[in-house]
Structure 1
Amino acid sequence: MPPEPLTLSSLPLFPLGTVLFPGGTLPLRVFEVRYLDMIGKCHRAGAPFGVVALEHGHEVRAAGAPPEQLAPVGTLAHITALEQPQPGLLVVQCRGEQRFRVDRPSQLKHGLWVADVTLLPPDVALAIPDDLRHAARWLRQVHANLRVQSPGAPVPAGSSADYDDCAWVANRWCELLPLPAAVRQHLMSLDSPLLRLELVA
């Protein structure tokens, strides 16, 4: 029998106009009260929060605006660095981990979203087939160029195994390409890393 999927209760959510992929990095400038408190608690506890794309609504809540509509699949985010350059502002670096399905979202009275979620299986490690090897070669070249042209840019330090993995290469292309958020969300939600890479290529 397959193991029961792992669920998390009342996972705090950070709705954004972008999509976080497993293995990706996400910089955040946090200034809304509802997120300052949440990020601080997650950082102190070493706990993740969920990043979900907005299907409708805006990242910064306006008074009287209708509730945001959240995408059904998100990604766990672990805080890797946090600074407070001034009161009321946090500068955060996060890393994308496992994907999850949003089961029961609810918005608390102060505006923070929480949800019961089901963790989705990690992408299966799958070697890139010969007809898609060009996608990995081009990705190596783009990363090499970025390191030369933008020395301070956060370029993934992929290993040889990463550049031979369908999911890792597809996810990094999804982050680089100028895709609409809805397309990124669709690609991230696919369970097949091979299909994700085929569509990106």
Structure 2
Amino acid sequence: MPDQPLTLNSLPLFPLGTVLFPGGELPLRVFEVRYLDLIDKCHRADAPFGVVNLQQGNEVQVAGAPHEQLDAIGTLAHITTLERPQAGLFIVQCKGSQRFRIERQERLKHGLWVADVTLLPDDSAVPIPDDLKHTAEALRKVRTSLRERGAISADSGTDGPGTYQDCGWVANRWCELLPLKNELKQRLMALDNPLLRLELVADILTRTGM
């Protein structure tokens, strides 16, 4: 009998105007009460929260603004570092892990979203075919250059053994670097086929002359 998908109930959500990819890094500057409490509780419990892209609405609550509309697929975020430079402010670094699909969502009275979610399978390990290896080599050069300039940290994205041979990892890192609209990033992140995701990224690189 096949394994049943793992579900999480009442996962706290952090809607943002960005798309978090598995393995990606997310810096946050947190000052709203609803999210200070979320981050503090998740940090103390060593528990993840969900990052979802905003289809509509503002990252910061504004009186009279329409409620946020959230994309149905998001990514779990795990807190890696947390600093408290002053009262009412957290400087947080997070890392994306597993994708999830929202089954039911609820906006609580103080504005925090929670959801019952189903975790989606991790990308299968798919070797990069010969006709797409140029995308991996170009990515390696770009990330090396960014590190030398201090634009990304030395361990950003965990360039471990085999990462530049994996379709999903290479596609995800390109999606983070390319100036794509969030709608397109969301569609790419939601794809279950990592080879197809990399093929689409390669098409974008070709069209943009990169």
What is the TM-score when the length of structure 2 is the normalising length? 0.93
How do 1:117-136 and structure 2 match up within 5 A? 117-136=117-136
Q: Secondary structure at the match of 2:44?
A: helix
Please name the residue that 2:208 is paired with: none
Please name the residue that 2:16 is paired with: 16
Please name the residue that 1:153 is paired with: 152
Matching residue's letter, 2:109: K
CA root-mean-square deviation: 0.9
Q: C-alpha distance in 1, partners of 2:74/2:158?
A: 24
Any conservation in 2 of the 1:106–1:115 contact (CA below 8 Å)? yes
How do 1:50-199 and structure 2 match up within 5 A? 50-150=50-150, 153-154=152-153, 155-199=156-200
Matching residue's letter, 1:11: L
Q: C-alpha distance in 1, partners of 2:74/2:13?
A: 9
Matching residue's letter, 1:166: C
Matching residue's letter, 2:200: L
Q: C-alpha distance in 2, partners of 1:65/1:140?
A: 43
Q: Does residue 200 of structure 1 match 2:201?
A: yes
Any conservation in 2 of the 1:78–1:97 contact (CA below 8 Å)? yes
Deviation per residue, 1:41-96 (Å, 9 max, x gap):
00000000000000011101101212100000000000000000010000000000
Runs of 4+ in 1 over 4 A off after TM superposition: none
Q: C-alpha distance in 2, partners of 1:41/1:198?
A: 40
Q: Secondary structure at the match of 1:2?
A: coil
Aligned residues: 200
Matching residue's letter, 2:89: L
Gaps of 5+ in 1: none
**Deviation of residue 153 (structure 1)?**
2.4
Matching residue's letter, 1:65: A
Matching residue's letter, 2:152: A
Please name the residue that 1:48 is paired with: 48
Q: Secondary structure at the match of 1:186?
A: helix
